[in-house]
Structure 1
Amino acid sequence: MASQVLSKPAAVETTTPAKPGYKLLCGTGNRPLAEEISRQLGLELTKATCTRFADGEIFVRLDENIRGADVFIVQPTNPPAENVMELLLLIDAARRASAARITVVMPYYGYSRQDRKDQPRVAIGAKLVANMIQTAGADRVLGIDFHQHQLQGFFDIPVDHLYARPVLVNHYRKKKLADLVVVAPDVGAAKMARGFAKQLDAGFAIIDKRRPKANVAEVLNVIGDVNGHACLIVDDMIDTAGTVSEASRALIKLGAREVYVCATHALLSGPAKQRLSEAPIVEVTVTDTINIAPERRFDSLHVLSVGELLAKAIRFTHSDQSVSSLFD
């Protein structure tokens, strides 16, 4: 019987699809900042629909394929509360669309001042927001200047906590202010202000104030020499501007030559615009972590962008590089 030669089956060529890179999403909370980050990264924003039903209910839909992608969602959680809900829906939509990893880029951590139970029967809003972000499906959080550093511990997922100080310090280095003294508006801001003073090679002072009730501040004393000096008041946020406006008047009374104010987050609520416009302040410098509406802006307001800082952090996070170089 003739032997039968069995031929091997021809090899079937298989091609593994390229793994998607990273995607940048944003809600309506601060689209201008997301667009600046997009420009810095050279990456287009992923198309998404964020609309409202007739009753005000939020509808979110991702209009592009993000399966297997490393997704970064840019959305601050400042008021109105819809910003928080919109962020949660964006996270949920990304998770259900099979994103490989979801990083929440939260330039401003709303509800961060509600971080402890300092009165009977009050909610700890900062912890609740952290829980909701995790439950929605976030894998990481990237934020700037939390109100308190320990807020990072409210999350059980990795948190990269960046500082806007390099952006603000660079601005004042260019001004080359003579005889500069950096002023902490209260004891809580002392560590932040001391860091500014060290990097600007400036003096340091602290304002002793008391707060009889929320959003009301009274200056009691200034610890440090400000007579004849240019003073820079440094804080993490400006809400109703009661603290910095009263502080600026106290510094001028004590002989300060001129007063500047800088802060990372510009909430500018209620009477803030009027208070800052009427206070003896040469310039108020803030960053764009919160989108400032035109009606809240005033002549002495100067806005710096943290878009480049966040773009670097996103690029490093995506490539699994250390972001510690951006912490200072």
Structure 2
Amino acid sequence: MRPLLLPLPGNEALAADLASRLGAESGILTVHRFPDGESHVRLESPVAGRPVVLVCALDRPDDRLLPLVFAAATARELGATAVGLVCPYLGYMRQDARFQSGEAVTSAIFARLLDPWIDWLITVDPHLHRRRSLAEIYAVPATVLHAAPAIADWIRAAVPAPLLVGPDEESGQWVSAVAAAAEAPCLVLEKTRHGDRSVEVSVPAVERWRDRTPVLVDDIVSTARTMIETVGHLRRAGLAAPVCVGVHAVFAGHAWRDLQAAGAGRIVTCNTIAHPSNAIDLAPLLADAVRARLPVPATGRS
């Protein structure tokens, strides 16, 4: 039987695109919240005897994990031959060590909560700052995809004379990979974080780059404070309004609006999290990875 793709709420467009590329069926899964906050989950499409692929970005994971687990467990109970998860953004990856006594290492705990209900996992650029691979915390087979080539393609096509700028040391891996693929120079700035919403960024002399368009590249844009601070420094240095590129459009609170107001020339993200800033499509990359996980190769447009 054809594979069935079931999107959790907010992931319908990506799931439909993947289903079309794979020659799979795009199914329906509904989630209803009771007045007391509990979740009611229903698989509207039959799953017995077929592989099921759940599609769910795990930004705001406290609200999304339980419906996802309920959906995966129900698919198993109703006879799905396998349950895979396409999770373009994988939450709870930052707390990967115990920095202070008594802290929960939530990345590992979160993995143990999700592991029992899925057979495989596909994600994009998880935050592996202190981990070498997802295999250190996830027991299921995991495919990690990288957005850098797609971002580089977009920059080459859309940005004249780009100068890649990494807002902090952690973004250095993104900047170097994207810059190499885009055949553009790059700078990596230094960041000092004073709190969740207080960041100081130091910018080297950039006067010699005045004829180029700065492109800030980061993996996760959450509060956007780092990018906002960097945009201000670059504008004060006399550079053009920077293009801000992020892999994952978390945009907590008013972050997107604040970044726009800071003077960014354009804000662009990949479609790992549905957001109006999405301009870089990773569906072809995800579809290839899903196809490799399906028990019988699916056919469809590529």
Q: TM-score, normalised by structure 1?
A: 0.82
Residue matched to 1:106: 87
1:123 CA displacement: 1.3
Return the letter of the residue paired with 1:28. Answer: P
- Counterparts in 2 of 1:225 and 1:93: CA distance versus 1, 3 Å: farther
Matches within 5 A, 1:1-328: 20-79=1-60, 81-135=62-116, 137-148=117-128, 150=131, 152=134, 153-178=136-161, 180-222=162-204, 227-228=209-210, 229-292=212-275, 301=277, 303-318=279-294
Q: Which amino acid aligns with 1:63?
A: E
My pick for the range that moved more, 35-44 or 231-240, is: 35-44
SS, match of residue 4 in structure 2? strand
Residues 226 and 254 of structure 1: CA distance in aligned 2, closer, same or farther (over 3 Å): farther
Q: Is the 8 A contact 1:211 1:218 kept in 2?
A: yes
Matches of 1:226 and 1:33, distance apart in 2:
41
Is the alpha carbon distance of 1:210 and 1:160 closer, same or farther for their aligned partners in structure 2, counting shifts above 3 Å? same
C-alpha distance 259-85 of structure 1, shift in aligned 2 (>3 A):
same
AA in 1 matched with 2:168: D
What is the Cα deviation at residue 176 of structure 1? 5.0
Number of equivalenced pairs: 293
Amino acid at match of 2:202: L
Q: Deviations over 1:280-322 (max 9, x none)?
A: 2211110221123xxxx5xxx453332222122212221578x
Bigger RCO of structures 1 and 2 (CA < 8 A, at least 6 apart)? 2
Alignment partners' CA distance in 1, 2:188 and 2:208: 10
The runs of 4+ residues in structure 1 deviating greater than 6 Å are none
Deviation of residue 72 (structure 1)?
Answer: 1.0
* Distance change >3 Å, CA 56–CA 258, structure 1 → 2: closer
| Structure 2 counterpart SS, 1:142 | strand
Preserved CA contact (<8 Å) 1:70 1:101: yes
CA displacement at 1:177 relative to structure 2: 1.5
In structure 2, C-alpha distance between the alignment counterparts of 1:114 and 1:223, rounded to whole Å: 34
Shift of 1:49: 3.2
Structure 2 residue identity aligned to 1:39: S
Instruction: Give the structure-2-normalised TM-score.
Output: 0.89
Mark the runs of 5 or more structure 1 residues left unpaired by the alignment: 1-19, 322-328
Per-residue deviation at 1:197? 0.7
Whole-angstrom distance in 2 between the partners of 1:227 and 1:260: 15
Q: CA deviation at 1:121?
A: 1.2
What secondary structure, in the 3-state scheme, does the structure 1 residue paired with 2:25 have?
coil
Distance 1:147 1:206 in 2: 18
Q: Larger radius of gyration, structure 1 or 2? A: 1
CA deviations 1:113-165 (Å, max 9, x no partner) are 12221122111222121111112x21111001101162502101111001122
Letter in 1 for 2:17: E
Q: Which sections of structure 2, spanning at least 5 residues, go unmatched?
A: 298-302
In the superposition, relative to structure 1, how do residues 63 and 257 fare at CA in structure 2: closer, same or farther (>3 Å)? closer
- Are residues 159 and 223 of structure 1, via their aligned partners in 2, closer, same or farther at CA, if it must alter by over 3 Å? farther
Deviates more, 1:192-201 or 1:90-99: 90-99
Contact 2:260–2:267 under 8 Å retained in 1 = no
Specify the SS of the correspondent of 1:236. strand
Closer, same or farther in 2 for the Cα pair 1:80/1:157, shift >3 Å?
closer
Distance in 2 between residues matched to 1:130 and 1:71, nearest whole Å = 20
Distance 1:65 1:278, change over 3 A: closer
Which amino acid letter does the alignment assign opposite residue 235 of structure 2? I
